[in-house]
């Protein structure tokens, strides 16, 4: 029997934007500008400007599916791009401004970006690769108010080309809304293309009371960059429910964030543990300095959230909600909230549960696959690769037919995380199979570093591993075997300098240790587990 519902009504961003403009016009959107003055406007302004952007893009010749890249911090204009580009039928391609210009060149070229919207303060970064990419027009957001340099177009002037008669093109819910590239172990980033449908469904799930629980009464501040997995969907969810949005701009240090939290009485924020580890230290050192909103919640993910952080934030009246996700899962995959009957459990057990990665979201199915290729029992002990599937989980990478090994034959996505699931259904990530290091929430490819180190004439072998770090959670350490004739002739600093020619500064291993040999497996591969064990007591210089 066919339903009598309007099942063909497409799940796109259009109704979200329209509703926000019609119902929440008076609600504020606040952005911290580079000079730390606050830019304030409302959803009414946002609605008008997002539609003006869509119309201006049409007038500039944007065709359905054309990619429009953004190189921007979190602020009002990025929010306009989040909506204006997709409702025009374009594809919002957020570029990660922390990447090396070589990677950005690869990504922009691979995605075939046609237009670019860039912050004026980020133009120096764009200039490092602009001659290597083919972008048709570049619109510069004048965040500082300084004149736009010769050869670029002013974003504000571009918006003025709209006459106010924008008509939405027909959009299918399967059309691509945006894309994000994520690091692969080999260093060649891979593109994930999100459909309107995936983002809309994800917004419902992420907004649920059992997940972010955002309501119109909240004041939401995404610290997680809008170039990283759609800022975990916060801008979409917040706009859907009409939440006041506060954007940190380029000021991501804990003090600036706490100041902004206080000033705007933020009730909800999202970001990686590194940010909150720093904030927690400031709160401990300066008791009572910041009058934060009562009931402030932080969604923390992107890396494991230490139990000690959850405990200490509780003491400051700040609730941490631990979540797990990936660029490939739009990104929300699981959230750790206690079930009703767990509230009576002893404190220690409750904290242990809150520090797990949590229960899969509705519509995200999770399983673990053991090394022997069998599905692991949910006994809290059996470890295996975490695999997921669901309507906002990627089914392939964009234009990358070689990267199919991340999906199983029966259609599950292989996360590369090693986990166990307990009888209550809570996922706990224990390790990862992917040879990557996550420092302050951003990936570093150990394989890329190793290959470059081994291209140095003095280096016979090099293996790079992640070592726990109090601030960044993980930092790379390189174990290097020098060729005999170079013993005593090369310093770690020289090798760091050598790497600095190719990689962003934050990629460079903080420690390069000369060793006699790198432990290997029976088939001659570097045995990273053994190496990590060897350096488990490593102490970083503060």
Q: Which of 12, 70, 94, 182 is catalytic?
A: 182
Q: How many CB atoms lie within 10 A of CB 500?
A: 12
Q: How many CB atoms lie within 10 A of CB 252?
A: 19
CA quadruple 203, 208, 211, 212: dihedral, nearest 10: 70
Q: Closest residue to ligand AMP, Cβ-based?
A: 327
- The tally of CA atoms less than 13 A away on the side-chain side of residue 263 is 17
Q: What is the 3-state secondary structure (H, E, C) of 92-140?
A: EEECCCCCCHHHHHHHHHHHCEEEEEEEHHHHHHHHCCHHHCCCCEEEE
CB 385 within 8 A of CB 417: yes
> Closer to ligand AMP at the Cβ: 280 or 327?
327
Helix axis angle, 76-87 relative to 43-59, nearest 10°?
50
> Closer to ligand AMP at the Cβ: 21 or 301?
301
Q: Which of 80, 264, 328, 474 is catalytic?
A: 328
Could you confirm whether 438 is annotated as catalytic?
yes
219 SS3 class: strand
> Closer to ligand AMP at the Cβ: 89 or 325?
325
CB-based contacts of 164, cutoff 8 Å, min separation 6: 52, 55
> Closer to ligand AMP at the Cβ: 12 or 334?
334
Q: How many CB atoms lie within 10 A of CB 542?
A: 5
Could you confirm whether 483 is annotated as catalytic?
no
> Closer to ligand AMP at the Cβ: 331 or 476?
331
> Closer to ligand AMP at the Cβ: 286 or 433?
433
Q: Which of 130, 244, 438, 528 is catalytic?
A: 438
Q: Which of 324, 443, 472, 507 is catalytic?
A: 443
Q: How many angstroms separate the CA atoms of 127 and 130, rounded?
A: 5
The first and second tokens of residue 194, run together, are 């999100």
> Closest approach of Cβ 75 to ligand AMP, in Å?
21
> Closest approach of Cβ 429 to ligand AMP, in Å?
4
Nearest to 430 by CA among 376, 502, 365: 376
> Closer to ligand AMP at the Cβ: 32 or 357?
357
> Closest approach of Cβ 441 to ligand AMP, in Å?
7
CB 54 within 8 A of CB 65: no
Q: How many angstroms separate the CA atoms of 157 and 155, rounded?
A: 5
The first and second tokens of residue 234, run together, are 């916060």
> Closest approach of Cβ 107 to ligand AMP, in Å?
14
Residues of this chain that bind ligand AMP (CB under 6 A): 182, 229, 301-304, 322, 324-327, 331, 357, 415-417, 429, 432, 438, 443
Could you confirm whether 539 is annotated as catalytic?
no
Could you confirm whether 374 is annotated as catalytic?
no
Active site residues: 182, 328, 438, 443
């Amino acid at each position: 029997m066919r339903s009598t519902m309007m099942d063909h009504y497409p799940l796109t961003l259009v109704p979200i934007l329209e509703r926000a403009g019609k119902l929440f016009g008076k609600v504020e959107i606040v952005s911290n500008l580079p000079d730390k003055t606050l830019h304030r406007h409302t959803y009414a302004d946002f609605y008008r400007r997002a539609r003006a952007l869509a119309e201006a893009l049409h007038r500039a010749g944007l065709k359905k599916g054309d990619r429009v890249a953004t190189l921007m911090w979190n602020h009002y204009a990025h929010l306009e791009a989040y909506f204006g580009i997709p409702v025009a039928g374009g594809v919002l391609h957020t570029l990660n401004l922390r990447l090396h210009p070589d990677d950005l060149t690869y990504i922009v070229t691979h995605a075939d970006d046609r237009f670019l919207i860039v912050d004026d303060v980020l133009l120096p970064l764009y200039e490092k690769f602009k001659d290597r990419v083919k972008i048709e027009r570049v619109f510069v957001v004048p965040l500082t108010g300084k004149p736009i340099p010769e050869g670029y177009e002013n974003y504000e002037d571009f918006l003025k080309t709209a006459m106010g008669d924008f008509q939405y093109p027909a959009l299918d819910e399967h059309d691509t809304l945006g894309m994000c590239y994520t690091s692969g172990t080999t260093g060649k980033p891979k593109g994930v293309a999100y459909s309107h449908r995936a983002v809309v469904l994800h917004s419902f799930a992420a907004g649920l009371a059992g997940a972010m629980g955002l309501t119109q009464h909240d004041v939401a501040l995404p610290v997680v960059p809008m170039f990283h997995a759609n800022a975990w969907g916060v801008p979409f969810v917040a706009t859907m429910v009409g939440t006041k949005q506060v954007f940190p701009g380029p000021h991501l240090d804990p003090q600036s964030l706490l100041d902004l939290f206080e000033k705007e009485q933020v009730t909800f924020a999202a970001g990686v543990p590194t940010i909150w580890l720093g904030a927690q230290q400031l709160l401990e050192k300066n008791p009572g300095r910041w009058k934060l909103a009562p009931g402030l919640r932080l969604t923390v993910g992107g890396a494991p959230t230490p139990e000690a952080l959850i405990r200490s934030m509780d003491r400051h009246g700040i609730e941490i909600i631990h979540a797990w996700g990936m660029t490939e899962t739009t990104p929300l995959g699981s959230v750790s909230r206690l079930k009703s009957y767990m509230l009576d459990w002893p404190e220690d057990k409750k904290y242990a549960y809150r520090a797990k990665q949590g229960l899969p979201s509705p519509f995200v199915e999770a399983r673990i696959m053991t090394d022997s290729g069998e599905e692991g029992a949910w006994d809290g002990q059996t470890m295996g690769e975490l695999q997921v599937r669901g309507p906002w989980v990627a089914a392939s990478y964009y234009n990358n037919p070689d990267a199919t090994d991340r999906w199983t034959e029966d259609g599950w996505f292989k996360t590369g995380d090693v986990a166990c699931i307990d009888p209550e259904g809570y996922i706990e990530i224990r390790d990862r199979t992917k040879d990557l290091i996550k420092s302050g929430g951003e990936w570093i490819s150990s394989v890329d570093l190793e290959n470059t180190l081994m291209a140095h004439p003095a280096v016979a072998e090099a293996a790079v591993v992640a070592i726990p770090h109090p601030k960044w959670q993980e930092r790379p350490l390189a174990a290097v075997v020098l060729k005999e004739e170079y013993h005593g002739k090369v310093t770690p600093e020289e090798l760091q300098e050598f790497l600095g020619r190719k990689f962003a500064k934050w990629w460079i291993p903080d420690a390069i240790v000369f060793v006699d040999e790198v432990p290997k497996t029976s088939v001659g591969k570097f045995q990273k587990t053994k190496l990590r064990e060897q350096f488990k007591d490593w102490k970083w210089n503060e």
